Amino acid sequence: MVKKVIRNQIFEAKLELGKERRKLLNNAIIEKLYNSSFYKEANHIMVYVSFGSEINTHDFIKESLKKGKRISVPVTFPDSKEIKPSELLDFDELEIGFYNILTPKDESIRFIDPNEIDLIIVPGVAFDRKGYRIGYGGGYYDRFLSSYPDIIKLSIAYDLQLIDEVPRKDHDIPVDFIITEKEVIKCSH
């Protein structure tokens, strides 16, 4: 119940920013990501395809492909509550899928060995400075990340998405870094 309340509060706070302010902050956050050593040193990045009021990753994906980065996006398997990374060669390979999130078309799915990934950009609704996050409630990312502890895990978020402490369970996997419009946080989990 507590997570649901936090999700609603963060969602409302993001809406209150307004579309123009969100776009401005979004651009500042993505610029910080481009300038980070995590991004510069990564050859293969797994990134969520944004929807709703999430930090927009669509242009980030397109630009990263232009820059020669290998990009994978998650393919969701609702029955087993799993995600698997599929390499994306062009943004046009995506179509509306599960949860109304853009996902690779069947003919464009190219599953890759997750050990090829250097950096995972993990979505979330709220975060604390220890790197724990509130996602959307399915546990998909925690299950996936638990199998690949050595890959750098980074989240991008508006500063307003930071809270004092995220309620967590033993199976929750924290991210290593969070980039907001104000700072780059090295998480202390």
Mean of all residue pLDDT scores within the chain? 94
pLDDT band, residue 170 (cuts 50/70/90):
confident
94-107: average pLDDT: 91
48-64: average pLDDT: 95
120-143: average pLDDT: 94
pLDDT for res 1: 57
pLDDT for res 140: 92
End-to-end CA distance of the chain: 24
150-164: average pLDDT: 97
77-100 confidence digits (pLDDT tens): 988 989 999 999 999 999 998 778
Q: Quickly tell me which residue has 């990374």 as its tokens.
A: 85
CATH number of 2-186: 3.40.50.10420
172-188: average pLDDT: 96
134-146: average pLDDT: 90
The share of the chain scoring above pLDDT 70, in percent, equals: 99
- Domains of the chain, by residue range, sit at 2-186
3-state secondary structure of 28: helix
Report yes or no: 85 and 46 within 8 Å, Cβ to Cβ.
yes
Report yes or no: 27 and 39 within 8 Å, Cβ to Cβ.
no
Neighbours of 186 (CB within 10 A): 10
116-122: average pLDDT: 97
